[in-house]
Amino acid sequence: MSIPQFAVWAPVPSTVTLHLRPVGGTATTLPMVRDEEGWWTVDGTLPAGPSGEPGVGEFDYGYELDGSGEVRPDPRSRRQPEGVHGWSRTYDPFAFGWTDERWTGRQLPGGVIYEMHVGTFTPDGTLDSAIGKLDHLVELGIDFVEIMPVNDYNGTWNWGYDGVLWFAVHEAYGGPEAYQRFVDACHARGMGVIQDVVYNHMGPSGNYLPEFGPYLNAGGTNTWGESPNLDGEDSDEVRAYIVDNVHQWLRDYHVDGLRLDAVHALHDTRATHILEELAIEAEVLSAFVGRPLSLIAESDLNDPRLITSREGGGYGLDAQWSDDFHHALYVSLTGDTSGYYADFDSLEALGKVTEAGFFHTGTRSSFRGRSHGSPIDTLRTRTWRLVVCSDNHDQIGNRATGARLSTRLTTDQLSIAAVVTLLSPFTPMIFMGEEWGASTPWQFFTSHPEPELASAVQEGRKEEFKAMAWDTSNIPDPQDPQTFHGSKLDWSEPTGGDHATLLDLYRRLLEIRRTVPAFTDPRFDAGHSRSDDDEGWLVLRRDDVVVAVNFGSDAAEVGLDEPVTRHLLSVGSTEVEGRTLHLGPTSAFVAQVELPNLPTSFTPGG
């Protein structure tokens, strides 16, 4: 075991004292000295650990600032056994016995992502119990497991976006060693791991960073909390804090990619944006560790610069979410055009997204009252750089009652949603339980121990939906333990009935995606669409494959440009007669078709 190095960046206090206690032993204090950059290190010899050697072994520790009498956790703490207000505990990530020496990583192109929340994925809600369900994901056909934030937050359960100690793995999930076991187990099964990280704000409880230094913008907040100081005085160290966190996940914990939460909320006016800096760091680290490392942005800006190369004037991230795909598909399935869904009231919207990546490409957004987005350069950008879904944690959890699509759609409707999403040219993402149409809700839950904060969250939730004319009487209380426990998946469901039927369809669709090259062809210009709002059908053509979907409640007829050569899959009632496709209500047809004949004078490469 390596000897821990106790150092902390704290330019604010005049004195810093290290409080140190061998686990199970007696606490002691050591003075610290400051360098010119505001870093404090131990002035003296570390006490003996459990082995009897100085500094060797596990220690609980913390920092006292300016003789306050209060011991604060380490901003870079890897473990918090007693929560965000308690002492930190040393953890050596390099002592773990990895078995993934042969793991060479996975490229994002062609991949399928599975989004999961550790606390509600299994009854126990731990990383170790989640390992027991990984074979289910392998059989499904998953390439990447995306874990919602595991950084430490106050309370026992939470979505994870209220984190305040970014380096520590939440103890209720099993802590850092359980996290390494989970990653190792995923790699053993051929799946990569993407970690959801939150760099745009700090949670409301346990954030002691301002006592150490100017980590946060003075008076700067966004929708969710205090935002980091990325471009002000002393921001070099704040950016290094974020970069070091990236290194921890990708290097120390063998993670294969990061999902960067709400990057539109990152305020940075420096010449090199923090996102570009992270892309550079990931590229350098990828070369060092010898495997692909992916950075995926969540953004509501429809800004192609995120995934445009640095040479092309962009930030050089690998991929970004396309909310427009979800919105267009949601409206096609439900007919709901309220709020920001208003602009997606035509099947042409869904067709446009499949061809252009975004619907709003500088067009007017009636919800925003202005133009929105910018067009993707479809000649230079690859389709896999957009992550799409039919549902995700945000879309479900931010509905008033946390209701999944499965509570308002039929099995056939869920099936055609899966066809459109999983056979799209983009990188599809499945939210946990979606693959069997889970009936359990995914609700907004918190466990803030502070009464005033708990009350603020409860009232804020009601006010949010009151403003949208929702009946607030049936909105679940985020602080009620049942809201959390009721959001856990029911693993008895996928074994029978419509749940099993839908699960089988998901497996078949992902098998088709893996075995028919046209579905992962990364060229935007390889596909086109046509639709009819009156009859409710949409046809997506890509290379030699066609996907035809009838969203309507009446039968429809669709003309085919070329004859079918191989039927791949149907949902509901479908029949082909020559060049005419008969689609029953709520149905889908997937097939390969004959490519147009090339001119006799055509010479490849000529």
Q: Which residues are catalytic?
A: 261, 298
Establish whether 324 is an annotated binding residue: yes
Q: Which residue matches tokens 């692909």? A: 292
Q: Is 85 annotated as a binding residue?
A: no
* 307 vs 299: CA distance, rounded Å: 11
Q: Cα–Cα distances in Å, from 285 out to 99, 111, 481?
A: 20, 21, 41
- Closest by CA position to 136, among listed 394, 507, 408: 507
Structure tokens at 121: 């994925």
262 is in an annotated binding site: yes
Residue among 162, 244, 156, 232 at smallest CA distance from 198: 162
One-letter identity of residue 438: A
Cα–Cα distance measured from residue 479 to residue 454, given in angstroms and rounded to the nearest whole number: 7
Closest CA to 479 of 505, 503, 457: 457
DSSP 362-424: SEEETTTTEEE-----TTTS-GGGEEE-S--HHHHHTSTT---GGGTS-HHHHHHHHHHHHTS
In degrees, rounded to 5, the angle at the alpha carbon of residue 427 between the alpha carbons of residues 556 and 553 is 20
Give the CA angle between residues 336, 338, 339 to the nearest 5°. 140
In terms of Cβ atoms closer than 10 Å to its own Cβ (0-12, 13-18, 19+), residue 39 is middle
Confirm or deny that 326 is annotated as ligand binding.
yes
Helices 411-422 and 497-515 meet at what angle, rounded to 10?
A: 20
Residues 6+ apart with CB under 8 A from 444: 159, 397, 398, 402, 461, 476, 478, 483
Confirm or deny that 323 is annotated as ligand binding. Answer: yes
State yes or no: 396 annotated in a binding site. yes
If you write DSSP's letter for every residue of 183-224 in order, what string do you get? HHHHHHTT-EEEEEE--S---SSS--HHHHS--EEEEEE-SS
Distance CA 542, CA 528 (A): 7
CB 108 within 8 A of CB 384: yes
260 is in an annotated binding site: yes
Would you say 327 is a known binding-site residue? yes
Residue with tokens 């999902």: 259
The residues with which 33 forms a beta bridge, in sequence order, are 41
Is residue 498 marked as binding?
A: no
Largest CA distance in the chain: 87
| Alpha-carbon dihedral sign for residues 591, 595, 596, 597 | negative
Q: Which residue has the tokens 């070329």?
A: 562
Structure tokens at 67: 């003789």
261 annotated among ligand-binding-site residues = yes
Q: Per the annotation, does 259 bind a ligand?
A: yes
How distant, in Å, are the alpha carbons of 129, 416, 526 from that of 353? 38, 17, 14
Which two tokens mark 558?
């669709």
Give the 3-state DSSP-derived string for 501-540, with helices as H, strands as E and coil as C.
HHHHHHHHHHHHHHHCHHHHCCCHHHEEEEEECCCCEEEE
Give the Cα separation of 584 and 582 in Å (integer): 7
Q: Which two tokens stand for residue 405?
A: 């699509």
User: Binding site for substrate: residue ranges?
Assistant: 259-264, 323-327, 393-398
User: Binding site: residue ranges?
Assistant: 259-264, 323-327, 393-398
